[in-house]
Every structure is written in structure tokens, then in C-alpha cells.
């Protein structure tokens, strides 16, 4: 099992990130409280903000998944070498954490920029946003 552990982690993780990113990137997910980048309450106010932030986030998820897929290919090359498989797992962790943190920070910046541009920031207190949503 230790001989293929990175393969068993990298492959499904890559598929998961790509499958989560595709519908977001292609704007197939409307505003909801279950799936998507709900970085700030302002995204729940406006479809333009929601789709822009989620499209950017979807792109990031696809890139993370693609990097994990490349890492999975390396895992295939090192089947039978537990030390290399362990190193590949650390690279998976670094890709995932760095990618997700970057994506959240970029999404938050885009969200705040668009909310400011639309005049939502400073005029509506985030705690009262739930009263505005249908």
C-alpha cells in the first residue's frame, strides 16, 4: 500500500478539484448556500459578483487539479518506491494548501473590488444581507 499511496491520493484529488472547478468556471452554479465561493456576503447580493468570483475560483480549482494530475503522473513513475511516494504526498499537500489559500485571497479581493464598484460596500451591513436575498 505504501508503494502506491501518492497515486491513490493524487489521482482522486486531481479529479475532485477539476470536477468542482468546471461548473464554477462555466457559470453553471447560481447563487446558493451549498456550493461555490462564498468569500463574502456581498457575493450573495449580486449575480454579477457571484459569477465573477466563482469563475475565478473555478479556474483556480482547475489549475490546482491539473497540478495534482501532473504530480499523479510522477507518482506512477515511482510506484514501488515508498520514500518517493511520501515526498510526492508532501508536494500534493503544498499544492493544495498554497492553491486554496491563494484562491481564497484572490477571490476575496475580486469580491471586495466588485462590491465597491457596484456601491454595495459601506451601504449595506453584511449582517443584514440575508434580509435582501430572495
pLDDT in tens, the chain (134 residues): 778 989 899 999 999 999 999 999 999 999 998 999 988 888 888 899 999 999 999 999 999 999 999 999 999 999 999 999 999 999 999 999 999 999 999 999 999 999 989 888 766 555 555 545 54
Domain count, the chain: 1
Q: Please give the model's pTM, rounded to 2 decimal places.
A: 0.87
Distance CA 3, CA 116 (A): 51
Residue-range definition of the domain harbouring residue 96: 5-131
Question: Which three cell numbers, joined as nine digits, stand for 43?
Answer: 457575493
**Burial of 81: CB neighbours in 10 Å, binned 0-12, 13-18, 19+:** middle
pLDDT for residue 84: 93
pLDDT for residue 120: 81
| Residue 31: C-alpha distances to residues 6, 99, 134 (Å) | 35, 23, 11
What stretches of the chain show up as alpha helix (H) in DSSP?
A: 5-25, 47-77, 82-117
Question: Which three cell numbers, joined as nine digits, stand for 120?
Answer: 454595495
Residues in the chain: 134
Half-sphere exposure (Cβ direction) of 101: Cα atoms closer than 13 Å? 6
Amino acid at each position: 500500500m505504501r508503494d502506491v499511496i501518492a497515486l491513490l491520493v493524487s489521482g482522486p484529488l486531481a479529479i475532485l478539484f477539476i470536477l468542482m472547478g468546471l461548473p464554477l468556471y462555466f457559470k453553471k452554479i447560481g447563487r446558493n448556500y451549498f456550493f461555490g465561493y462564498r468569500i463574502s456576503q456581498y457575493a450573495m447580493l449580486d449575480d454579477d459578483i457571484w459569477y465573477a468570483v466563482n469563475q475565478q475560483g473555478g479556474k483556480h480549482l482547475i489549475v490546482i487539479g491539473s497540478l495534482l494530475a501532473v504530480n499523479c503522473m510522477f507518482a506512477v513513475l515511482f510506484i514501488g518506491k515508498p520514500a518517493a511516494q511520501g515526498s510526492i504526498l508532501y508536494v500534493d499537500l503544498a499544492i493544495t494548501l498554497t492553491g486554496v489559500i491563494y484562491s481564497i485571497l484572490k477571490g476575496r479581493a475580486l469580491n471586495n473590488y466588485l462590491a465597491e464598484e457596484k456601491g454595495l460596500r459601506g451601504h449595506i451591513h453584511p449582517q443584514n444581507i440575508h434580509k435582501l436575498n430572495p
